[in-house]
Amino acid sequence: MLAVLRIGALSVIFILGCLLGLLLCLIRPFHRDNSYWCARLFAFSHYPLGIRWHMNNEPPLGYDAQAVYVCNHQDSLDMFLYGPMLPRNLAFLGKHSLMYIPLFGQLFWLAGNVFINRGDKRKAYEALSEAAATVRRKGCSVFIFPEGTRSRGQGLLPFKHGAFTLAIEAGLPVIPLVFSSTHLNIDLNRLHAGDICVEYLPPVSVEGLNRKDARRLAAEVQLAMAQKLDELDQQLTEVRD
């Protein structure tokens, strides 16, 4: 029953967050901090969720450093949980289908984020090149879920190489961000729903790399993040014990 009430509260927060975010974005469309503030709006949900945070560190290059941030993507709770960890001056890279979600799709676009059509390789290639040019021009960071879909309790899925191609083209370091497993550590039917543990990994330089190195880089970062994910889950096991 408690889970049903919380899901209802999340639905209300989602709608209000979209409406307030749209208002902000209509006032200053495509502003470089729109995504940051919209993410903070959705992050208010952790209060009714009853989730306790454990932030192991802060961004290794500071909150204002330009980089490509890559993060594990688990389920629909992600958008309500990740806000407090995000830097400013940030754009998200999202799949093209997000455009068709009422309210959210329009918000995502007006916030200055970038859509990628993964079903069309030519358009996806062009979008990545355009995103890299935009990042260089605006001096902003990019946030990407390199798995390309929600893992839904299957652990860290293999990474697509688009995020790393973009980082190489833009000449920006890759900064991995790892969240503990929500399916193992959160139960919305409990009064205290659970804990989230979050940690940034050291930045990965792309100096001297070209597009051909993107797949190898993706595999290396995926391995490091998978190991860290196991460590964070173990950390929460010790906290509970």
Provide the 10 A C-beta neighbour count for residue 124: 18
Eight-class DSSP state of 148: S
> Quick one: angle between helices 214-240 and 162-170, nearest 10?
110
Over residues 10-15, mean pLDDT: 90
Over residues 39-63, mean pLDDT: 84
Q: In this model, does residue 131 exceed pLDDT 90?
A: no
Q: pLDDT tens across 222-240, in order?
A: 999 999 999 999 998 876 6
Contacts of 64 (CB under 8 A, 6+ apart): 87, 88, 89
Q: Are strands 51-55 and 194-200 parallel, antiparallel or unpaired?
A: parallel
Question: If you compute the radius of gyration of the chain from its CA atoms, what whole number of angstroms results?
Answer: 17
pLDDT at residue number 154:
81
Q: Are strands 51-55 and 114-116 parallel, antiparallel or unpaired?
A: unpaired
Token pair 């902000």: residue: 24
Q: Give the integer Cα–Cα distance in Å for 209 and 156.
A: 25
Eight-class DSSP state of 64: T
CATH architecture assignment, domain 2-240:
3-Layer(aba) Sandwich (3.40)
Nearest to 167 by CA among 140, 137, 147, 142: 142
Q: In this model, does residue 58 exceed pLDDT 70?
A: yes
Confidence grade of residue 7 (pLDDT, cut at 50, 70, 90): confident
Q: Are the C-beta atoms of 114 and 91 separated by less than 8 Å?
A: yes
Q: pLDDT tens across 160-217, in order?
A: 998 999 999 899 999 999 999 988 888 888 888 888 999 999 999 999 999 899 999 9
pLDDT at residue number 85:
82
* Domain residue limits, the chain: 2-240
CA–CA–CA angle 118, 14, 29 (5° rounding): 65
Q: In this model, does residue 146 exceed pLDDT 80?
A: yes
pLDDT at residue number 75:
87
Query: What's the residue count for the chain?
Result: 241
